[in-house]
Structure 1
Amino acid sequence: MVAQQQQIQLSAYSGLYALIVPQDNLLRKINELIDFTFIYDELASKYCTTNGRRAESPVRMFKYLLLKTIYTLSDVDVVERSRYDMSFKYFLELSPEEAVINPSSLTKFRKLRLKDTDLLNLLISKTVAIALEKGIIKSHSLIVDATHSLSRSNPQSALEVLRERSRLLRKALCSIDEDIKGRMPEQNDSGGLEEQLAYCRRLEKLVEADQALCVIPAVREKLNLLRETVEDTQESHTLSKDTDARTGHKSADSSFFGYKTHLAMTAHLAMTEERIIAAALVTSGEKGDGPQLPELLEISRANGLQVDTIIGDAAYSGKENLKLQDKEGRSLKLVARLNPVISQGSRKEEARFEYNKDAAMFVCPAGHMAMRKARQGKKNRGKNQATVYYFDVQKCRSCPLKEGCYKPGAKSKTYGVTIKSPIHVEQQAFQQTDYFKEKTRERYKIEAKNSELKNVHGYGRAISYGRAISYGITSMQLQGALAIFTVNLKRIVKLTS
Structure 2
Amino acid sequence: MIEQQTSLILSPYAELYDKLIPKDNFLRRINELVDFSFILEKLQDRYCRNNGRYAVHPIRMFKYLLLKQIYDVSDVDIVERSKTDLALKYFLDMAPEDDVINPSSLTKFRKLRIEPTKEEWDKGEGSLLDDLIQKTVEVAIEQGVIESKTIIVDATHTTSRYCAKSASEYLKEKAKLVRKTAYKFDASMKEKFPEKPTGSDINETREYCEKMLEVIEKEEAIKGVPAVKEKVNYLQEVLTDCQTEATQSSDPDARIGHKSQDHAFFGYKSHLAVTKERIITAASVTTGEKSDGKYLKELVNKSRAAGMDVDTVIGDTAYSGTDNLTFAQQEGNFQFITKLHPVITNGKRNEDDGFEFNKDADMFACPAGHLAVRKRIKRRKAGDNRNHQMSYYFDVEKCKKCPLQAGCYNGTKTKSYSVTVKAAVHAEHEKFQETELFKTLAKDRYIVEAKNGELKNQHGYDQASNSGLLGMELQSATTIFVVNLKRILKLIDQK
- TM-score interval w.r.t. the shorter chain? 0.7 to 0.9
What letter is aligned with 1:487? Answer: V
CA distance in 1, matches of 2:370, 2:93: 51
Identity in percent = 56
User: 1:182 corresponds to which residue?
Assistant: none
Deviation track 1:356-400 (CA, whole Å, cap 9, x = no partner) reads 111111112222211110111256452432211011223334444
User: 2:343 corresponds to which residue?
Assistant: 341
User: 1:285 corresponds to which residue?
Assistant: 288
CA distance in 2, matches of 1:319, 1:366: 24
CA distance in 2, matches of 1:395, 1:442: 41
What letter is aligned with 1:372? Answer: R
Instruction: Name the SS for the 1:441 alignment partner.
Output: helix
User: 2:240 corresponds to which residue?
Assistant: none
**Which 10-residue stretch deviates more, 256-265 or 409-418?**
409-418
User: 1:494 corresponds to which residue?
Assistant: 490
Asked if 1:61 is matched to 2:64, the reply is: no
User: 1:92 corresponds to which residue?
Assistant: 92
Q: 1:155 to 1:363 in 2, by over 3 A?
A: closer
CA distance in 2, matches of 1:142, 1:482: 21
> Any conservation in 2 of the 1:148–1:261 contact (CA below 8 Å)?
yes
CA distance in 2, matches of 1:458, 1:362: 30
Instruction: Name the SS for the 2:302 alignment partner.
Output: helix
What letter is aligned with 1:442? Answer: D
Give the TM-score of the pair, scaled to structure 1: 0.77
CA distance in 1, matches of 2:147, 2:5: 33
Asked if 1:386 is matched to 2:389, the reply is: yes
CA distance in 2, matches of 1:149, 1:438: 31
User: 1:460 corresponds to which residue?
Assistant: 462
2:379 to 377, 380, 383: 377
**Which 10-residue stretch deviates more, 245-254 or 450-459?**
450-459
Asked if 1:141 is matched to 2:150, the reply is: yes
What letter is aligned with 1:481? Answer: A
1:309 to 306, 309, 312: 312
User: 1:480 corresponds to which residue?
Assistant: 476
By how many angstroms is 1:482 displaced? Answer: 0.3
CA distance in 2, matches of 1:294, 1:27: 35
> Any conservation in 1 of the 2:163–2:249 contact (CA below 8 Å)?
no
Q: 1:253 to 1:317 in 2, by over 3 A?
A: same
CA distance in 1, matches of 2:94, 2:369: 50
User: 2:81 corresponds to which residue?
Assistant: 81
Structure 1 unpaired stretches of 5+: 157-238, 268-273, 465-470
Q: 1:392 to 1:155 in 2, by over 3 A?
A: closer
Q: 1:52 to 1:336 in 2, by over 3 A?
A: same
> Any conservation in 2 of the 1:8–1:95 contact (CA below 8 Å)?
no
Asked if 1:276 is matched to 2:272, the reply is: no
By how many angstroms is 1:433 displaced? Answer: 1.1
CA distance in 1, matches of 2:5, 2:360: 47
Instruction: Name the SS for the 2:81 alignment partner.
Output: helix
Asked if 1:447 is matched to 2:449, the reply is: yes
Q: 1:42 to 1:141 in 2, by over 3 A?
A: same
Instruction: Name the SS for the 1:279 alignment partner.
Output: strand
Instruction: Name the SS for the 1:479 alignment partner.
Output: helix
Instruction: Name the SS for the 2:260 alignment partner.
Output: coil
Instruction: Name the SS for the 1:442 alignment partner.
Output: helix
By how many angstroms is 1:5 displaced? Answer: 5.4
What are the residue-to-residue correspondences of 1:88-487 with 2, within 5 Å?
A: 88-116=88-116, 117-154=126-163, 241-267=250-276, 274-328=277-331, 331-378=333-380, 380-382=382-384, 383-406=386-409, 408-464=410-466, 471-487=467-483
What letter is aligned with 1:480? Answer: S
Give the TM-score of the pair, scaled to structure 2: 0.78
Instruction: Name the SS for the 1:491 alignment partner.
Output: helix
User: 1:165 corresponds to which residue?
Assistant: none
CA distance in 2, matches of 1:55, 1:22: 31
Deviation track 1:463-487 (CA, whole Å, cap 9, x = no partner) reads 13xxxxxx21100000000000111
> Any conservation in 1 of the 2:129–2:476 contact (CA below 8 Å)?
yes
Deviation track 1:410-430 (CA, whole Å, cap 9, x = no partner) reads 222211122221222222111
What letter is aligned with 1:441? Answer: K
Structure 2 unpaired stretches of 5+: 117-125, 166-247
> Any conservation in 2 of the 1:5–1:37 contact (CA below 8 Å)?
no
> Any conservation in 1 of the 2:14–2:96 contact (CA below 8 Å)?
yes
Instruction: Name the SS for the 2:445 alignment partner.
Output: coil
> Any conservation in 2 of the 1:361–1:369 contact (CA below 8 Å)?
yes
CA distance in 2, matches of 1:456, 1:396: 41
User: 2:4 corresponds to which residue?
Assistant: 4
CA distance in 2, matches of 1:250, 1:139: 30
By how many angstroms is 1:7 displaced? Answer: 2.1
By how many angstroms is 1:248 displaced? Answer: 0.6
CA distance in 2, matches of 1:19, 1:253: 57
What letter is aligned with 2:113? Answer: R
> Any conservation in 2 of the 1:341–1:418 contact (CA below 8 Å)?
yes
By how many angstroms is 1:403 displaced? Answer: 4.2
> Any conservation in 2 of the 1:8–1:94 contact (CA below 8 Å)?
no
User: 1:16 corresponds to which residue?
Assistant: 16
Matched residue count = 401
> Any conservation in 1 of the 2:156–2:271 contact (CA below 8 Å)?
yes
By how many angstroms is 1:495 displaced? Answer: 1.4
By how many angstroms is 1:349 displaced? Answer: 3.5
CA distance in 1, matches of 2:414, 2:335: 40
Q: Rg: which structure is higher?
A: 2
Q: 1:405 to 1:350 in 2, by over 3 A?
A: farther
User: 2:187 corresponds to which residue?
Assistant: none
Instruction: Name the SS for the 1:414 alignment partner.
Output: strand
What letter is aligned with 1:453? Answer: L
By how many angstroms is 1:302 displaced? Answer: 1.5
